[in-house]
Structures are given as structure tokens and as C-alpha cells.
Amino acid sequence: MTASTAAPTRSAVVVALEQTWALTVRSSMATVRNPANWMPGLIFPLVMAAVYASQFADATQLPEFPKVDSFLQFVLPAAILQGIAFNAANAGSDMAIDIETGFFDRLMSSPVARQSVLIGRVGGAAFSAGVQAIVLMIVFLLFGAPVKSGIGGAIAIVIISILLAIALSGFGLAVAMRTGSSEATQSMFPLIFVMIFISSAFFPTQLMRGWYRTVAELNPFTKIIDPTRELVITGWSWSDLGQAVSITLLVAFVSLSLAYRTYLGRLKNA
């Protein structure tokens, strides 16, 4: 009687999860190793926050302005989400570079789970966003801009930041898959910045007038930033957290659906 010495085979799901994790680590390490990918997302929001806090400090005394400890506290969530927007688009740019260099085609010719390639890029963007949100909150805290909802609120802001990074990375990946061009993918940056500036990011909509106020109130960034700001300047609120998370999840659903469709289209044409 012989005993079987064959090693047990791992399920396809386990293998796919391992591949997804490996590609997520690859994406995250590529970001860490290239300061040009993450430094702008830290430096630019901090510079903008310092400039706005210096120029508009007296605006906090206006009757319609939210009650805050300082203007720096008011712009804290906007600075974090602006930094996330900077870095989240890198997922699309990096994917486009993989396509241009032929690495994407080599992945497709290997026995790798097809979904892991896309999810790995999204996972890298999510990891970077979480670390970035924590660093920015610590910097703002050191300069006297605390999160009034405490540790729970800080964790909530990190979660919102990660979800926003996932949502924005979906749009970048969709463009990358459609065009296969890093230059075309990077053209998303100006659109994202315009949407941030035409929102409540750096000034409350109550003090805006005319078409600018109408556009700002309809802007999805406003609907995410305003409840996130309440967690910073007022305190804990399940309704504010729910609004920020639900709007971000909706945007993420749209962007990831679009990215997945373009991904399947590229696989079909490969």
C-alpha cells in the first residue's frame, strides 16, 4: 500500500488573491521609490493651505462662515482630499506606462488572474491614500488644526480618503486602458483640479454668489468635502460620515465600472 505524496493544490481564488497582493505591493513600492509620484500630493496641499490660511484668516469672522478654530482647520479636509486627487491619478499613469513598455502584454501572456492586474493598481492607490491622509492630519495637528471628532473622526477621514483614491483611480485606469498613453492619462489632472477649486474646498458655498455657487453646490467634491469638514470642525456625526462614504462609493462604482469595461475591451483587442 503506497501513501500519496502529492502536494495539495491551491484553489484558483487563493492564487488570484496572492497575485493581487503581489501586484498591489508592486504598485505601492513603485510609488514609494519615486518621490515625484508622492511629493506633490504632500507639498502642494500644504502650501495651498498655508497661503489660504494667511490670506483669509479674517474671513472666519463673517456671520455666514462656519464656526472654526482657524481657517487652517477649515481647509484641513480639502487639503487632504486635494492631495489624494494628486496621487490617485498616478494609478492610471503607471498603468499606461506598463502598456507603453510592453509589461502589460507580458502580464497578459502569463498565467496571472486577469482581475488582479486592475485590482492591484487600485490597491496601490488605496494604500498610498491612507498613508498620505495620516501624514497630512499629523502635520495639520502640529500646526493647531485638530479633528474635533477625535480618533474616530481621524479614522473616518482616512477611510473617506481611501475610497476617494479608489474612485479617482478608476477614471485614470479607464483613460489608460482606452488610450494606452501616459500623456493622455495625465491630461485628467487639470480637470480634477478645476473640479476641486469650483467646490467648497477652500471657501463655504454660503458666501459664494451667482453661477459659481450653483456649480459648487452641484459639484460631487462639495458633497464629499462638506460632511468630512463637519467631522473636523464640529464633532462625530454618523449622518455626515454616511453622506461622505455613500457619495464616494457611488463615484467609485461608476469609475470602476468604466475602468473594467475598458479593461475587458483592451483584453478582447489584444
Looking at the domain assignment, is residue 72 inside a domain? yes
Instruction: Tell me the residue type at 104.
Output: F
pTM: 0.87
Looking at the domain assignment, is residue 34 inside a domain? yes
Please name which of 220, 206, 209, 215 lies closest in space to residue 254, comparing C-alpha atoms.
220
- Residues for the chain: how many in total? 270
Return the ∠ at Cα 44 (arms to 40 and 50), rounded to 5°: 155
Looking at the domain assignment, is residue 92 inside a domain? yes
Looking at the domain assignment, is residue 1 inside a domain? no
Looking at the domain assignment, is residue 3 inside a domain? no
150 Rama class: left (phi>0) / alpha (psi -120 to 50) / beta: left
CB-count burial class (<10 Å; 0-12, 13-18, 19+) for 260: middle
Whether the CB-CB separation of 159 and 128 falls below 8 Å is answered with no
User: Cβ contacts of residue 227 below 8 Å, gap of 6+?
Assistant: 237, 239, 240, 241, 243, 244
Into how many domains does the chain fold?
Answer: 1
What pLDDT is attached to residue 270?
61
Domain of residue 79 covers 12-269
Whether the CB-CB separation of 111 and 195 falls below 8 Å is answered with no
Q: How far apart are CA 214 and CA 209, in angstroms?
A: 8
Looking at the domain assignment, is residue 191 inside a domain? yes
Q: How far apart are CA 248 and CA 251, in angstroms?
A: 5
Whether the CB-CB separation of 41 and 141 falls below 8 Å is answered with no
Count other C-beta atoms under 10 Å from residue 90's C-beta.
Answer: 28
* H helix count then E strand count, the chain: 12, 0
* CA separation, residue 196 to residues 1, 99, 223 (Å): 72, 29, 11
Joined together, the cell numbers standing for residue 212 give 459659481
Whether the CB-CB separation of 176 and 93 falls below 8 Å is answered with yes
Looking at the domain assignment, is residue 135 inside a domain? yes
Q: How far apart are CA 131 and CA 161, in angstroms?
A: 10
Looking at the domain assignment, is residue 6 inside a domain? no
User: Cβ contacts of residue 98 below 8 Å, gap of 6+?
Assistant: 104, 107
Please name which of 240, 49, 42 lies closest in space to residue 149, comparing C-alpha atoms.
240
pLDDT in tens, the chain (270 residues): 444 444 455 677 787 888 888 888 888 887 778 777 778 778 888 888 888 888 887 888 888 888 888 888 899 988 888 888 877 777 888 888 888 888 888 888 887 877 888 888 899 889 989 999 999 999 999 988 889 999 999 999 999 999 999 999 999 899 888 888 887 787 777 788 888 889 988 889 888 889 999 999 999 999 999 999 999 999 899 999 999 999 999 999 999 999 999 988 888 776
Joined together, the cell numbers standing for residue 32 give 514609494
